[in-house]
Amino acid sequence: METFELKLAHRDGRLAVLEVAGYINNEAGEAIADTAATLLSEGHRVLILDLAGTRIINSIGISMLLEVLEKVIEVKGTLAFCCLSPSIAKTFQIMGLAQYAKIFPDRAQALAALSVES
Amino acid sequence: MADGCRRRIVLPREPHAELAAVPLVDLLGERLGFSRDTLAEIKLALVEACLNALEYGQGEVEVEVVAHADAPARLEITVTDHGAGFDVSIVPQPDLTAKLHASRKRGWGIELMRHLMDEVEVHSTPGLTRVRLVRKRKEA
């Protein structure tokens, strides 16, 4: 099993990028939610989750990501995902996540689009 | 059918047990020539079925993966548990907007299985729940 790792890879003004690697289950989802809550409390309003290192996610992990999304929406911020594996991209598409979160093919495109917003 | 096309595992009662059967999908799916991306989708569906069985079942949770090489080539997965059972017909279809405003944001498992697999059958009675998942290989 891929070991879960979470890293604050970039922060610039209101924008922050979290690199997520490994299996996103309940524990990993909680870790992401806790870190996201801290970033929001520090004033960041644009969060990018880079899932390049994640190949599998379960529905409990997904529910934790929805907790993050709810909190971001509450502060009128933006949640974005990038570097999704095809199966995770399909999962998000099934859920209709693009209604509320932005999805980019890679981090460079996410930063280019969202740095303006931040 | 040759025994090499059928694998069974009893999930251990330990953290990440829902992943224990994932290697069987890789093993048999690769033999059938499934693409890596399709196998990834099958594994997501399998994990959801195992999570439900581990959470709501009792006793042993058994997973069987069968590779059918005859046309249409397909992987068939059966997850069996011995919990109280449930009526799949009353499981609500999740709605993202509603979930975002709800305290409980879970409830995506069956919906994901239905979209990621070609067939999903749930037979559930008190003491025996069997979820059968089938994914066919796309012909070139």
Which tens digits make up the pLDDT trace of B13-41?
Answer: 899 999 999 999 999 999 999 999 999 99
Mean pLDDT of A45-57: 97
Integer angstrom CA distances of residue A103 from A52, A63, B44: 13, 17, 20
Q: What total of structural domains would you count in chain A?
A: 1
A95:B96 CB<8 A:
yes
pLDDT band at B57 (very low <50, low <70, confident <90, very high): confident
User: Which position has the token pair 């033999």?
Assistant: B31
Q: Which residues of A touch B107 (CB under 8 A)?
A: 59
Smallest Cα distance from B1 to chain A, Å = 30
Is A20 part of a structural domain of the chain?
A: yes
* Distance between CA atoms of residues B10 and B59, nearest Å: 10
What's the whole-number average pLDDT of chain A?
A: 95
Is A117 part of a structural domain of the chain?
A: no
Is A79 part of a structural domain of the chain?
A: yes
Q: Which residues of B touch A58 (CB under 8 A)?
A: 18, 44, 47-48, 51
pLDDT of residue A90: 97
* Distance between CA atoms of residues B37 and B55, nearest Å: 27
Six token digits for residue A97:
């996540």
CATH number for the domain harbouring residue A46: 3.30.750.24
Q: Who among B16, B43, B48 is closest to A59 (CB)?
A: B48
pLDDT of residue B138: 87
A118: helix, coil or strand? coil
pLDDT of residue B2: 52
A91:B44 CB<8 A:
yes
pLDDT band at B4 (very low <50, low <70, confident <90, very high): low
Q: Does the structure show a pLDDT above 80 at B94?
A: yes
Q: Evaluate whether B58 touches B129 at the Cβ level (below 8 Å).
A: no
Residue A76, Cβ neighbours under 10 Å: how many? 7
Is A57 part of a structural domain of the chain?
A: yes
Smallest Cα distance from B124 to chain A, Å = 21
Domain holding A42, by residue range, is: 5-112
Q: Does the structure show a pLDDT above 60 at B3?
A: no
The CATH number of B3-136 is 3.30.565.10
Smallest Cα distance from A112 to chain B, Å = 27
Q: Chain A: which residues have CB within 8 Å of chain B?
A: 1, 23, 25, 55-60, 62-64, 66-67, 69-70, 73, 85-87, 90-91, 94-97, 99-100
pLDDT of residue A2: 75
Domain boundaries of chain B, sorted by first residue:
3-136
Mean pLDDT of B52-73: 94
Is A118 part of a structural domain of the chain?
A: no
A85:B48 CB<8 A:
no
Total count of residues recorded for chain B: 140
